[in-house]
Amino acid sequence: MNLLVSSGHPAGADVQPELVRLLCKAGASADGIANNRSPLGTALAFGYPAAARALVECGAKIDNIVYAAAVGNLEQVKSYFESTGRLKKDVAKCDFDWCGVSENPQTAAEQALVFASLCGEVKVVALLLDNGVDINAELPGSHMTATPLHTVAASGQESVTRLLTERGADPTFMIDQVEKIADLLEIEPGDKGDLIVTAMAAGWMGTSFSMLIGLKNRIQISSISDLKVIHRFDYIFSRALIGMISSLMLFYAFQSDILTGTFFPVFDPLNPQHPLDEKNTALLVIWSFISGFSEKLVPDLLIKTEQKVSQE
């Protein structure tokens, strides 16, 4: 059952829920071999709400606020809050090691908001927001690295997207990720740090442009399953992350003189705080954009560099 509800092939063919019902009818447990609710957790972790609902139809037990929110069990979600709107302590029960539900009640409630958004449960989303759950929470792990707004926008849930936007959800998450990566790399404030962030942002824009062109070219010939994969958040985020990392690698290739030439930016070693003038900054932006747009530029550069080092 876990294999079925985590597979993109039956989901893409729109037969996953029906196959879940078929297995249950044949005697498979909706709660898994160990009776620990792992199929339901697996379906949600892989972003297949229809499979999760089919499991609940087959009798899968719901024992925490995240699963209850994801399948739209409004009354059970309400039961996890005091009349004052305060969370009760026992909201995050989970019987298998990798279920991902936080033991912290507040974090579990934020996870519930993300999954209710992912699954299009408008009433549950409204209830959680009314009870003070953070609308801009960014949670660790898998597709939960997104805020509720970006999770739901990527999954195509228009009604929830509209609700979150009306309630003040922050749409700048992807831009924030560039700054977070810069923080992880310990980039100091100043012109050089700004250049790195600029390069990574340009790489992200190049990737986005490439994806839009690709979608336009493929939309008439792609199957429904292909289109479903393309619009998933984890696919979009991974492509954007690759673009940003590619542009970062290109930045250091320019700075270290691995790439030199008339059309490449030239860093001024005598002026580390202002290493690029306007012309060279423009060249950096252009090449960073190209590195995000192209899927081969930076990989080819790495391969050629490796071959050159091996020869030496």
Q: What percent of the chain has pLDDT over 70?
A: 80
The CATH 1.25.40.20 domain(s) of the chain lie at 2-169
Q: What is the pLDDT of residue 125?
A: 95
Q: What is the pLDDT of residue 239?
A: 77
Residue 181 has pLDDT above 60, yes or no: no
Global pTM reads 0.59
The model's pLDDT over 85-120, given as tens digits with 9 standing for 90+, comes to 888 887 877 766 656 687 888 888 998 999 999 899
- Tokens found for residue 284: 């950096």
The model's pLDDT over 57-66, given as tens digits with 9 standing for 90+, comes to 999 999 889 9
Q: What is the pLDDT of residue 129?
A: 95
CATH of domain 2-169: 1.25.40.20
